[in-house]
Amino acid sequence: MRHSFLLDQNRIDEKDVTKLEKIGDGFFSSVYSGVYKNKRQKIPVAIKELNKHMEPQMFEREVNVCQLTHENIVQIFGWTKHEDKPKKVMCVPQTPTKSTPEQISIVMELCQGGSVDSFIAKCQQAGPGIRIRILLQTALGLQHLHSHGIMHRDLKVENIILKDPLSNASSYKDVKAKLTDFGLSRKIDRGIASRYTATVGTPLLIAPECFDSNTYDEGVDIFTFGLVILQVFAQTTDPDEIRTDDFQINPAAITKMDIPEQVKQLIIKCCSNIKNRLKIDEVVGCLQALDKFYNK
């Protein structure tokens, strides 16, 4: 895969990274466990090898998150490039060869707890306290992104990962949730040219303003976060069941769900129209209050 730019500031010497075993596959990449040897220590890492489906802009957005450090955002250490060099054969005339493909990899924090969607599937008996703690930590990571002028644009339980494994017997104190996958993230600029019209993200979770002629901003993350709350509480996000004809959320559908009343109200407020939608600081405040209630 050929990239037209190289972000030298965040580049890691490939000699300092050792790839071990494969731990996952996705549409844009394969992920391996590994070790990153920096100046001070050897750090267990995940090595995300990008494939031809990953566009250069997505790579750049992922690496830009190197600038951010927060306990609820997966730390990205940098990136490496590997290019196999053709072997030289002595005394044999060399013929021109095609350039070998570059292997671009992103080196990031290793999290071994899996994604939150896997947790939901395996730990169906988990109580509201542990689910609220996952949501609070996710919101804190999102708050940090927004405070640094970045919107995620692809929030979903698959893009929230756990530092360590959880089980039905786990305590809320064991939760260490982190936001990841920043390939669709964009810089927020308050100028007119900064508001975006491209429809990106997971179709079932996209905010309604992304489907009409209006431009949008970081409010789309709040709308999607409201649907992530539904996912974390193992409720449907099927548009046929919870959305109106203009793709807004139907509050009546939410109120019928078997989840705590305060959680229902938070979902409705996150997924309201643009003017009435909560800001990320308000979302964090609501979840902190719920966390205090459930996790005394």
In angstroms, the CA 2 to CA 55 distance is 9
Taking the CA atoms of residue 256, residue 259, residue 261 and residue 267 in that order, the dihedral angle to the nearest 10 degrees is -80
Retrieve residue 58's tokens.
């997505």
Q: Is residue 39 marked as binding?
A: no
Retrieve residue 225's tokens.
């976060």
User: Contact 188/220 with Cβ under 8 angstroms?
Assistant: no
In angstroms, the CA 183 to CA 136 distance is 23
User: What is the sign of the dihedral through the CA atoms of 230, 232, 233 and 237?
Assistant: positive
- For residue 192, give every residue at least 6 positions away whose Cβ sits within 8 Å of its Cβ, in sequence order, or none: none
User: Contact 51/29 with Cβ under 8 angstroms?
Assistant: yes
In angstroms, the CA 8 to CA 79 distance is 9
Beta bridge partners of 76: 108
At residue 129's C-alpha, the angle toward residues 124 and 135, to 5°, is 85
Beta bridge partners of 22: 32
Binding site residue list for ATP: 48
Binding site residue list: 48
